[in-house]
Structure 1
Amino acid sequence: MKSGKILVVDIEATCWEGRNPPGQENDIIEVGVCLLDVDTGEISANRGILVIPERSQISKFCTQLTSITPGLIEDEGIYFDDACDILEREYDAVNRVWASYGDYDRNQFQRQCSETRLAYPFGPSHINVKTMFAQKRRMKHSVGMASALEMLKLPLEGTHHRGVDDAKNIAKILRWVLNN
């Protein structure tokens, strides 16, 4: 296991106001990643991997939430299996401890890999930053990422609900958790 750097991941997926419409499955449409150096606190290799949804369409609600449009995906998106390959090849995800804010990202990746019969790209060591932050602050209930940043007096950089930006913001919270 590589201990020096933690892979921080934040995904965005197709979503709708209320229940999923018939025939529409939640698909990952962005994988935001960065590396947090445990020793130095440096955040590097920040990237957003846009993913073509194969089992659903991007709704107007989803675009309003994430700012990801169908046109952006058409221009820059890759298939989910190719995104998983990038995580394995360029980020060595299977051999690294990885982190996300809550369990949604881990559960969605597991579900989508299982449903599409793809190998899960991550190793078994996952850090739930949301839970760790709440424990570290001795809070009765966990809070969202934006609230956690606010409590730490750290700016929310970029666009909230964009994986590329949220991964970096989560890394800042994790850095605080590990150093306090």
Structure 2
Amino acid sequence: MAKLFDQVLVVDIESTCWQGYPPAGQISEIIEVGLCPVDVKKLARLEKRSLLIKPIRSKISEFCTKLTTLTDEHFRAAGTLADAVGILKKEYRSPDRLWASWGDYDRRQFERVCKELTVPYPFGVGHLNIKTLFAVAYGDNGEMGLDEACERIGLPLEGTHHRGHDDAWNIAGIFCHLLQKFRLGGTLVA
């Protein structure tokens, strides 16, 4: 099947987490896939979506709830990782589109968790690390956090930081900003 360049799928995942090491017998797993497709021609964010995934190998810790606002209650009707992968493939044609995230954590976590749970990886080989792209575009010596990058370009950080759908929306805003500057041949001002 041919690659599609009409949209880039901006993804941000949240995983079970703890302050320090995980408790015995628990493994970090994906609990939310935040998604914001970007219309490449219009440089427009198309939607903000959250796919919640019920954890099966870990519990939602107090630390995780403080960070993400997600509680056990959020996952009572949540689907499985396989359900989320099915939605990405069917509704967004994820294997045929470039996908992007803020950093490489999301890609590595998806690869690891899909392999461990024998769930097909939902994406093709094309992944764009917007965190690295941002640093290179601005000539920085290192990468910065999402909140710092939004502040730097004057983009308000919308929603709740560390909720997948809100972070995906904000990352997509930064991505659109970078593409707009590149297309206009404009200078990125720090």
- What band does the TM-score fall into relative to the shorter chain? over 0.9
**Unmatched runs of 5 consecutive residues or more in structure 1:** none
Matches within 5 A, 1:64-143: 64-74=66-76, 76-143=77-144
CA distance in structure 1 between the aligned counterparts of 2:5 and 2:88, rounded to whole angstroms: 17
Aligned letter for 2:178? V
Q: Alignment RMSD, CA only?
A: 0.7
Aligned letter for 2:36? C
**Which structure has the larger Rg over C-alpha atoms?**
2
Give CA-to-partner distance per residue, 1:61-96, whole Å, 9 cap, x none: 00000000001111x411111011001011110000
Query: 1:42 matched to which residue of 2?
Result: 44
Query: 1:12 matched to which residue of 2?
Result: 14
Aligned letter for 2:122? P
The TM-score with structure 1 as length reference comes to 0.98
CA distance in structure 1 between the aligned counterparts of 2:124 and 2:22, rounded to whole angstroms: 30
Query: Percent sequence identity over matched residues?
Result: 47
Query: 1:32 matched to which residue of 2?
Result: 34
CA distance in structure 2 between the aligned counterparts of 1:55 and 1:95, rounded to whole angstroms: 30
The TM-score with structure 2 as length reference comes to 0.93
Query: 2:64 matched to which residue of 1?
Result: 62
Matches within 5 A, 1:138-177: 138-177=139-178
CA distance in structure 1 between the aligned counterparts of 2:104 and 2:56, rounded to whole angstroms: 23
CA distance in structure 1 between the aligned counterparts of 2:119 and 2:50, rounded to whole angstroms: 21
Q: Which consecutive aligned stretches of 4+ in structure 1 deviate over 4 angstroms post-superposition?
A: none
Question: Are the aligned partners of 2:81 and 2:119 in contact in 1 as well (CA < 8 Å)?
Answer: no
Aligned letter for 1:38? V
**Unmatched runs of 5 consecutive residues or more in structure 2:** 182-190
Structure 2 SS opposite 1:168: helix
CA distance in structure 1 between the aligned counterparts of 2:92 and 2:6, rounded to whole angstroms: 13
CA distance in structure 1 between the aligned counterparts of 2:5 and 2:84, rounded to whole angstroms: 23
Structure 2 SS opposite 1:45: coil
Tell me how far 1:45 sits from its aligned partner.
Answer: 2.8
Question: Are the aligned partners of 2:7 and 2:97 in contact in 1 as well (CA < 8 Å)?
Answer: yes
Give CA-to-partner distance per residue, 1:4-43, whole Å, 9 cap, x none: 1100000000000011111111111100001111111111
Structure 2 SS opposite 1:19: coil
Aligned letter for 1:88? K
Question: Are the aligned partners of 2:34 and 2:50 in contact in 1 as well (CA < 8 Å)?
Answer: yes
